[in-house]
Amino acid sequence: MPKPAAASVPMVTLSDIQSALVRVRKSIHVSPCTRSETFSELTGHSIYLKLENRQRTGAYKERGALNKLLSLTADERSQGVIAASAGNHAQAVAYHASNLGIRARIVMPLATPLIKVSATRGYGGDVVLHGANYDEAYEEAMRLSAQDHLTFVHAFDDDAVIAGQGTLGLELLEQHPDLEAVVVPIGGGGLIGGIGCALKETNPRIQVIGVQPARLPSVKVALSEGKSVTLPAAVTIADGIAVRRVGTRTLPLVQKYVDDIVTVEEEEIANGVLLLLEREKILAEGAGAAALAALVNHRIPMMQASSGKKVIALVSGGNIDVTLLARIIERGLVKDGRLVRLRVHLPDYPGALHKLTGILAERRANIVETSYDRAYHNVNLGDTAIDITMETRGPDHIAELISALSAHGYTHERIL
């Protein structure tokens, strides 16, 4: 990726990250980084998974939050801190502030899932629900920060936070000094900026690749434009990296240290969550599965030019609402070809459905849901349309079912 000239502003340094590691080491879990035989076979590279979902609050955010809190003056500690977040950052700030005896106020959007609000309160945070989205919650947090003299702890655009996230890079080097590439999910750029600095300043040959959801590629667009750009709001299952604008402190780091940024589609992220859960017994949120999704879907051009690289994929977090998890699993099954919905037109007379299901049963498709419709979908009078959702073995099995239906004269279509 061509690199625009980085802005001439002081940036986080390797020394800052090394100092951060000294501060946080005794309070941050050294998360496992183990080889995955399954994903190594799927990608042609030696894939290791860095499991930051094993941190106390379920995500890497603790590193940056704790380093920021430990960097406060005595006066700032006594006044307290404030943050705006709908998830992982909120819990990280609340947890470590409570442990340090610092009062923490967390502004969360009104639509934040109850489980995240409860978790943040459980970690000791004083939760304020405000605004329809993160931007409105952020504005309220900034207002309260000025009004009540509270130190604002930014989720990513703060040097102490960036340096704290960068400790992950130093940890990777300790665990696997011979690593050749690392794949990192990107939201506002704090995580990849810190990791990139730690790795590249130690070994410039290590490749650093970022992954964003295709619906919100804010950092990729900023690199293309050479400046921060605010993207329109969009919904993604990778809500932990759904950031509309890269940080002013993080963009120069990305420009200097990141080799490439790729995007992944929603179905690919969902499939990544499913693969981690099913193959590795690892629970990841959407953002946490983005790096793996990029690898298994061959989204990284430089990874296709060669094989056998030692690559670390960062599983950045595992805080996922169980209702969303159910929907993600279903979408993942669809992407993987193990769940399919077909709409079949058939005559509306006794025994017609029995004949149809017999054809499907012969080919070992498991019907999980059906829905009749006689009035819509261009159904002829005297006919009906039936939507059939089935569990299948994969794309080849689906093709076999479709071929069998055609051979028996059924009009059909696949519902996506």
Q: On the CB side of 293, how many CA atoms lie within 13 Å of its CA?
A: 33
């012969």: which residue's tokens? Answer: 362
Q: How far apart are CA 165 and CA 192, in angstroms?
A: 8
Q: Which of 116, 218, 316, 335 is catalytic?
A: 316
**Sign of dihedral through CA atoms 217, 219, 220, 221?**
positive
> 89-111 burial by CB neighbour count: b if 16+ within 10 A, else e?
bbbbbbbbbeeeebbbbbbbbee
Q: Is 231 helix (H, G, I), strand (E, B) or coil?
A: coil
Q: How far apart are CA 9 and CA 25, in angstroms?
A: 28
Tell me if 11 sits within 8 A of 253, measured CB to CB: yes
Q: How far apart are CA 276 and CA 11, in angstroms?
A: 35
Q: How far apart are CA 154 and CA 189, in angstroms?
A: 12
Tell me if 131 sits within 8 A of 137, measured CB to CB: yes
Torsion angle of the four alpha carbons 294, 296, 297, 303, in this order, in degrees rounded to the nearest 10: 70
Q: How far apart are CA 305 and CA 312, in angstroms?
A: 17
Q: List strand residue ranges (DSSP E) for 26-101, in order.
A: 33-35, 46-51, 81-84
> 167-178 burial by CB neighbour count: b if 16+ within 10 A, else e?
bbbbbbbebbee
Q: How far apart are CA 188 and CA 245, in angstroms?
A: 7
61 is catalytic: yes
Q: Which of 61, 68, 116, 200 is catalytic?
A: 61
Q: How far apart are CA 304 and CA 300, in angstroms?
A: 7
Q: Is 303 helix (H, G, I), strand (E, B) or coil?
A: helix
Q: Give helix then strand counts, H and E, for the chain.
A: 17, 14
Q: Which amino acid is at 78?
A: S
Supply 189's token pair.
């750029």
Torsion angle of the four alpha carbons 167, 184, 172, 120, in this order, in degrees rounded to the nearest 10: 50
Q: How far apart are CA 217 and CA 389, in angstroms?
A: 33
19 is catalytic: no
Mind telling me the catalytic residues? 61, 316
